[in-house]
A = this chain, B = another copy of it.
Amino acid sequence: MSNTPPPSGTPTGGKLRSDAARNRLKVLDAARAAFSESGQDAQMGDIARRAGVGVGTVYRHFPTKESLAEAIVAHRFQETLDFLRTEVLPDPDPWHGLARSLEFCGIMQEKDRGYAETVTAMVGGSGFDAAAIAELNELTDTVLKRAQAEGSVREDLTVADVSPLYIGLCHVVQAGVPDWRRYLGILLDGLRPQPGRPRPTD
């Protein structure tokens, strides 16, 4: 016992020795690549190799594979928030913004086999930085309300209805459906105000 190396959450706790800090980044990069390619099947040994580092070093920074995976997920989460903040929220056309945010999810999934897992975690809100979750919901809610205000989205939808769309889309992409954008089109049409069926409440 007597062992509690720097908690090593994403934010580096105390200062690290310069080489340690450098290695930490190399490991994160390598892990990002490995998880993107292989999802949870990525191997610690492989990550170490890609990082040009020994396994021991990987474990020094992230005590378990799971903790490393979490760090990657958190990073992807931030990337997603960034996109919403800088691209979707400022979009003058709320409907377009909403569509783009879904498309973004599909594109990410194409590049990153682990993205679906991230999305599921985000939506499920499981064990996450509460602030990040809150911001995500707030951003989504804002865009949704704006779109409803301009009449481009049905009135009865809430954030809780939109979240699952991301999950479904990611997995459709993951399953290798080549023109997932067509699927996305169907989803989007389902969000439009429905003429004959104005309020599918319940």
Question: Chain A: how many interface residues by the 8 Å CB criterion?
Answer: 34
Question: A33 at interface (Cβ–Cβ under 8 A)?
Answer: no
Q: Are A175 and B185 in contact (CB under 8 A)?
A: no
Copies of this protein in the complex: 2
Instruction: Classify the secondary structure of A's interface with B.
Output: helix
Bound Cα distance A186, B187 (Å): 7
Question: A132 at interface (Cβ–Cβ under 8 A)?
Answer: no
For window 167-194 of A, CB contacts with B under 8 Å fall at: 167-172, 175-177, 180, 182-183, 185-192, 194
Question: A22 at interface (Cβ–Cβ under 8 A)?
Answer: no
- Within the complex, what minimum Cβ distance (angstroms) separates A169 from chain B? 7
Q: Which 9 A-B pairs have the closest CB atoms?
A: A168-B168, A190-B190, A171-B171, A186-B190, A189-B190, A164-B183, A164-B172, A164-B177, A168-B172
7 contacts between A and B (CB under 8 A): A123-B175, A124-B176, A157-B186, A161-B186, A167-B177, A188-B190, A192-B197
